[in-house]
Structure 1
Amino acid sequence: MDITRKDSEAQALLMQFIRFGMTGGFVTLLGIGVYLLAAMQFDVLPFVANVLAYAVAVTTGYVLHSRFSFRGHGRRDNAVRTTGRFFIVSMVSLALNSLFVWVLTGPLGGPDWWPTIPMLFVTPLVTFSLNRHWVFA
């Protein structure tokens, strides 16, 4: 493989990561917003608020990631496979965020906003990797 091709692939990966960051950032902030609104304004239990936020974020995320973040990447010949895999990755995301909510607001007794920190910094990195290498590959 020549250097020009490596540079081109690296640039494509960088652009994809930037698109994912923009889209994922929006979806993450939307989910966090729904979570905080439900948990802090409407006094919904944090775990229930997280599930509600997940439902909003996963629906929005699938549409935006498939059409923008990972456009032109991989095959799209099997929508059922791609959708199923996206759902599995979103369940990983829900499990991670639920773990953060449980640990940080339960045993550690922190305020309802504490889980938003790993939701913002840890979960997106995990889901980018899974989406790039498995869902939209």
Structure 2
Amino acid sequence: MMLLRFGVVGGVNTLIDFAIFFSLVYFMGLGAVAANAISYLVAVVNSYFMNFIWTFRSGRLSDVNLSSFAAFFVCSTLGLLTGSGIIYWLSPTLGVELVKLLSVGVVFFVNFFLSRHVLGGKEVGHA
């Protein structure tokens, strides 16, 4: 169930990420790597709260603290670096759209395992 919940949260945040990414690239003319950094970071903040409260059931919104957010942010930065590296190296040959999609798939698993560790996720009951 935890991986499924993480996937749902990831889907919501992927939509946020893609909407911001493609808006920045196609409407604002920003480079793909810079746009990826901005869109990914916005999605990370939302992801933290959704995962903290629902996916890993670590607590209530009132239990959110700076140290767990900082640890989650550091782990997410590893995901950002992974995704940006994929975009940087592969987008010139495969195109921005396909490479962005590919990077999301890879980063999903990197982030799941790191986030589960940081947020102390344990399987509990049903959703």
Question: Shorter-chain TM-score: what band?
Answer: 0.7 to 0.9
Corresponding residue pairs, total? 118
Q: Deviations over 1:78-136 (max 9, x none)?
A: 83331121011110111011101101124xx332212222223111111111111x211
The answer to whether the 8 Å contact 2:87/2:103 transfers is no
CA distance in 1, matches of 2:47, 2:58: 17
CA distance in 2, matches of 1:30, 1:24: 10
2:24 counterpart of 1:38: yes
- Correspondence for 1:79 among 57, 65, 71: 65
Residue identity (%): 25
Q: So what's the TM-score if we normalise by structure 2?
A: 0.81
CA distance in 2, matches of 1:128, 1:21: 9
Q: Which of structures 1 and 2 has the bigger CA Rg?
A: 1
2:53 counterpart of 1:70: no
2:95 counterpart of 1:111: yes
Which residue of structure 2 lines up, in the alignment, with residue 29 of structure 1? 15
Q: Which runs of 5+ in 2 are unaligned?
A: 121-127
For structure 1, which segment, 35-44 or 120-129, has the greater mean C-alpha deviation from structure 2 after superposition? 35-44
Q: Calculate the aligned-residue CA RMSD, in Å.
A: 2.1
